[in-house]
Amino acid sequence: YQRRVHGTLSECLFFFDFLLELTHPALCMYPLLLLLFISVSTATDPQRALTAAKTQWRDRYVENYRMEYMLDQFGVTSNITVVVKSEMIVSALYANSDKPVPAAQRLTMTMLLDMVEKGISQNKGMTVLYGLRYYTPRLIRTSSMGVQVFSISRLRPEAALALKAAKQKWMESGLEPHYYWTTKASGWGEADWFRPMKTEVRDGKIVGAVYEDGSVVPEKDWYRLWTVQQLMNKISGNLEVADRLKVEYDPTTGMPLKVFIDSNYIAHVLCVD
């Protein structure tokens, strides 16, 4: 129960922060202040907070990733980028440099979690703040060192190559600049969102759409529709951030046929005219 509460609250805060940044950047400080309040409250039970963080990290299935962090050790501050594959560090470089990082300064998220667990067990007076998206440590401070994690980006090289090949096939398909395709989506929203819709695309823009029964999709609802390029951009934008990403492409035209991101079918192509 505690894990679910922490995970759900973290996701809500992340989404709320995103919305506020779109509407009023100055307001994005409010969820961050709320996160600070949560961090202070979890300090009374650091083991529970750590357990929640470990569970969240495990459930995200983040096997291959890039992590950027700042390490403050023995009075020396270093910005470091590591590439991790199946918990093995395959690359570790200082920021804006090709200089390799010595083993003592190389960290993975699992190593950071173990560091926190050791600090708690030894009662070293460690300060830990957890992040919004993964609920993993974003700041660790002890009397002798500090680590601040700037970003964690998933690495999906196979998915990136598949998308690149699909884009090339689409460019060579000859279907642009004018085509029709019928799509539907699943997830959450109004019932009409999940009805198949035949969309007309001309010069990269949606110019019309109808439901299966021939009724017209109002222009105010076109934001629920996609062009092939828009859908490919959606896939590209989620390569590093989505917890789960699965895409099926047409082997001839390269267009995305099924796009599954996290818990939702973003698009399911039924036919192309």
pLDDT category at 44 given cuts 50, 70, 90 is low
Please determine, for residue 30, whether its predicted confidence score (pLDDT) is greater than 70.
no
Q: Where are the alpha helices (DSSP H) in the chain?
A: 2-23, 29-42, 46-59, 109-121, 157-173, 228-238
pLDDT (average), residues 80-95: 93
Residues facing 127 on adjacent strands: 141
Please determine, for residue 52, whether its predicted confidence score (pLDDT) is greater than 60.
yes
Higher pLDDT, 130 or 125: 130
Quickly list DSSP for 3-68. Answer: HHHHHHHHHHHHHHHHHHHHH-GGGGHHHHHHHHHHHHHHTTSHHHHHHHHHHHHHHTT--EEEEE
pLDDT tens digits for 183-202? 887 655 555 567 889 999 99
Q: What's the pLDDT score for residue 56?
A: 87
pTM for the structure as a whole: 0.67
Q: Two tokens at 151?
A: 């970003």
Number of other residues whose CB lies within 10 A of the CB of residue 237: 11
pLDDT (average), residues 5-14: 44
pLDDT tens digits for 53-83? 998 888 887 889 999 999 998 888 999 999 9
pLDDT tens digits for 216-252? 999 988 888 889 999 999 999 999 888 888 999 999 9
Q: What's the pLDDT score for residue 10?
A: 44
Q: Two tokens at 133?
A: 């998206």
DSSP designation for 105: G
The interaxial angle of helices 228-238 and 157-173, nearest 10 deg, is 170
Please determine, for residue 165, whether its predicted confidence score (pLDDT) is greater than 80.
yes
